[in-house]
Structure 1
C-alpha cells in the first residue's frame, strides 16, 4: 500500500511536470514569451517540489536505518500528515521500529541469560583473537589462571611463562593436559580449543577444567568404597574364626587354668574338630581373597600385536558355548578382516570374565538366552568389542559399584573380574564402559 501510494504520488508529479513542459514549449513556439516564462517558473517549482518529495522520503528511510544501526529505538515519525502516502509510510516505519525493538530486547535478554550461565559454569571459558586479545572470559577461567581481569594473553606471563607460551601457541581443535604452579597451588588443566567465526572474524574458543581436584575427589571416593568392600570381606571371614575360637577355648579352660584332658567329653572333642575345620576353611577363603588381590596387582604389561577380531571371538565362543547349552553365543565382526592391536591372552581373559557374567545374568532363563560378541569400528574410527546379553540388566545402585575391586553381588566369586578387566583395558590404553536396561546389558571394550 505504501509503495503504491508513493508510486501514484510520483506519477502524478511527473505527469504534471510533463504537461507543464509541453505548455511551456507551446507558448514559446507561439512567441507568447511572457506566458512561457511564467510556465517555466512553474516547471522549476514543480521539479523542485518533486526532488524535495523524493529526498524527504529517502532521508526519512536512511535516518530510520541509521537509528536501527545505532540501536536507537526512540525514533518516531509523525502520523498526522495530510499526504496519505507519507502518513502510511510513517506508520509502517513506526510499526517496524517497534517490532525490531522487541526482537532486539528479546535477543539481549537471551544473551544476558546465556552469559550468566557461562559465568556460573564450573569450567573455564575464554575467547581470543589472532592478536591475543581476550574478548570474553568467565570468572572460573580467571580463577583457574589466577589472574583478573584478563584482557590479553600477555598478562599470563605474570602467572607463568609456560602458561603464556602455551596460550600463545595454542591452535584450534587441540585437546591437551597442561600443568603449572602458581603462587597458590599446583594446577592441572584439561584444555580444549576450537575455532569460531564471529562477525567475519576468526576467534579461538578455549575451554579449561581443573582435573587435579576432580581426580583427587574421585580417587578419595574410590578408596572409601574399596575400604568398605575390603572391611566387609575381611570381617565376614574373621568374625566366624573369632567366635569359634572363643567357643573352643572355653572347652579347654576353667577360669585361667587349663582343663585336664581326662575331663574333656567326646562331644567337646568333636566340636573342637569341627571348629578347627571351619577355621581352616575360613583361613583358606581369606588366603584366596589375598591371592585375588595379588592377582589384581600383578597383571603384566600387555605384549601387544595385531590379532584377528574374528579369530579372537570365535576362539572364546568355542571355549565357552558348550558350558551352557541353554544360551546361544553369536559373533559378528564388521569389517570381516578387522584386526585389533592388543595382548591376545589378556583380552581373552577380559572376554571370558564378561561372558561368564552374562551366563550368570541369564541363568534363570530356560530358553532364549543370547550373548552377542560384536567387533567393529565406531564413528570416531575407534575399534571396539562388545559383549551383549538379553538378561534382566544391572540396577543403578549396583552399576556405580561393579568396577570396584572385590565388590560382588554373587554368593560365589572374588569380585575382581570386572575391576581386573578394567585394569587390563587401561593397560592397553583403552577403556571399558557398560550400558544396561531391562532389555539388555552391553559391555564395550574400546581400543
Structure 2
C-alpha cells in the first residue's frame, strides 16, 4: 500500500516539475516578457528541490533501516504520525519489518540458548575442534571426563594423557576407540566416536565421549552370575543324588555285608558323603552372589555405621595388631542405603585389609566417610599394606579370583554387587606410597534435607577413634 502512495507522490512531483519547465519554455519562445518565465523557472527549481529532498528523505530512512538491521539494533523506530500518508505508510512498514527481524533474532537466540543448555548438560561428552586443533565447543561432561578445564586446544590433552591426545588426532570420521584413563583413585573406560561436519568456512571434527566402565562392569558381572547359576544348578543336580545314594548304601552295608567288607565300604561311602556335603556347602557359598535381595534403603548416619563396623570386626584375627581410625566429615553425614548390606560389604573389605596387614608393622586401617566433588556420599577403606600389582588389581572383583591359598574369591565380588544394586560403585586403588584403598561411592540423594552432609572435597582421615 505504501509503495503505491510513494509512486503517486513521485509522479505528482515529476509531473509538476515537467509542467513548470514546459510553461517556462513556452513563455520564452512565445512572449518577449520573461518575467513570467522566471516565475515558472523558480517554481520548477522549488519543485525539483522538493523532489530531491523527498527522495533523499526516503533514501536516508532506508539507509538508517538497513544500518540498524546490520548492527542488530532493534530500537530504531520511525514516526507513524508525522508527514503525509505515503510517509506514514512507509514508516509503518519499516517498523513492522524491523519488529519481524527483531522477533526472528530473539527466537534464534532462544533456540541457541536452548541447544547450548542441552549440549552443556548432556551426559555424553562433546568436543568439536578445527584442523589446527582449536576447540570450538567442549561441554561440561567432556571437560570432566578428560579432566581438562578449560579445554581450548586439544594439545592440552597430552598433559592429561598422551594416549588420549593421540586418539583425538588419529581417530578418523566414523571410527570408534576405547581408552583407559586414570582419574585419581578411579579408572575411567572411555569410548570415543569421531565424526566430521562442515561449519561456515571450515571443516570441524566432533568427538563424542562416554564413560562405559560401569556398563562393562555390569555386563561382566551379569555374565558371571549367569555362569554361576548354571554351574551351581548342574553341580547340585549331580551331587545331591551321590550324597543320598552313599547314605543309603552305607546303611545297607552295615546291616547285610560281612564285617570287613562292610567296614571298608562304609568307610569309603562315608568319605564320599563327607566330600559331597563339603561340595554342597562350597556351592551354597557361591549362591550368595546370585541371590542377593533387593536393597531396602533407609536413611542413617555414616558415623554410626563406621562405629558398628569397628565393633563387628573386633573379633577377626589380627585386629589386636592394627590401629583403626574412623572419621566422618561432616559428622552428620547421612547415607540412604540398605545398612545391613552396606555393612556386609565393608566387613568383607576390612577382612581383606586385616589379612593384608598380617606382616606389616604399625598397621593401620582408615575408614572415612565424605562427599566427593559431585555431591555423592562415599566411604573409603584405606590400609598401609603392600601394594597390589596392577595386573591383580584388575582381577580382584572377578568372582572366585583369590590370591589367598584358602580364599573363596567371593567377598569382593559380593561387595561390588551390593554397590551395583544400590546404583553405586566400588573401585580400588593401590600404590606403594598410599597403600591400598577401596572406595564405595553411593548415588547422590536429591533434595537431601541435610545440606551440610555434602562437602566439596574429600577430607582425609586425620582424627578419630584409634586403637
Q: CA deviation at 1:146?
A: 1.2
Where do 1:263-412 residues align within 5 Å? none
Distance 1:167 1:262 in 2: 82
Query: For residues 46 and 135 of structure 2, what CA distance do their matches in structure 1 show?
Result: 59
Q: CA RMSD in A?
A: 3.5
Is the CA contact 2:195–2:205 (under 8 Å) kept in the aligned structure 1?
Answer: yes
Between the two proteins, the alignment pairs up a number of residues equal to: 261
Corresponding residue of 2:142: 141
Distance 1:167 1:37 in 2: 84
8 Å Cα contact 1:124-1:144 kept in structure 2 = yes
Query: Match for residue 133 of structure 2?
Result: 132
Residues 148/31 of structure 1: CA separation in 2 closer, same or farther (3 Å cut)? farther
SS in 1 for 2:21: helix
Question: In structure 2, what is the Cα distance between the partners aligned to 1:42 and 1:48?
Answer: 10
Unpaired runs of 5+ residues, structure 2, are 260-265, 277-467
User: Does the aligned pair in 2 maintain the 1:126–1:205 contact within 8 Å?
Assistant: yes
Question: Does residue 107 in structure 1 map to residue 116 in structure 2?
Answer: no
Partner of 2:230: 229
Q: Which residue of 2 aligns with 1:94?
A: 95
- Distance in 2, matches of 1:12 and 1:60, equals 21
Q: Name the CA shift for 1:60/1:238 in 2 (closer, same or farther; >3 Å).
A: farther
Gaps of 5+ in 1: 253-257, 264-271, 283-447
Structure 2 counterpart of 1:10: 10
- 8 Å Cα contact 2:176/2:194 also seen in 1: no
C-alpha contact (below 8 Å) 2:181/2:190 kept by paired residues: no
- How far residue 262 of structure 1 moved from its aligned partner, in angstroms, is 7.8
Report the CA distance shift for 1:169/1:234 in structure 2 as closer, same or farther (over 3 A). Answer: closer
How far is 1:147 from its partner? Answer: 0.3
- Decide whether aligned partners of structure 1 residues 9 and 188 sit closer, same or farther in structure 2, where only a CA change above 3 A counts: same
The residue that corresponds to 1:59 in the other structure is 60
Deviations 1:315-337, CA, capped at 9 Å, x for gaps: xxxxxxxxxxxxxxxxxxxxxxx
Alignment of 1:154 with 2:155, yes or no, is: yes
What is the CA deviation profile of residues 25-84 of structure 1, one whole-angstrom value per residue up to 9, with x for unaligned ones? 334444544444443343333223223322332332333333334433333322223422
Offset of residue 243 of structure 1: 4.1
Higher relative contact order (CA 8 A, sep 6+): 2
Q: CA deviation at 1:174?
A: 4.4
Deviations 1:80-101 (A, max 9, x none): 2342222222222333333333
Paired residues of 1:177 and 1:188 also in contact (CA < 8 A): no
- CA shift, 1:118, in A, is 1.9
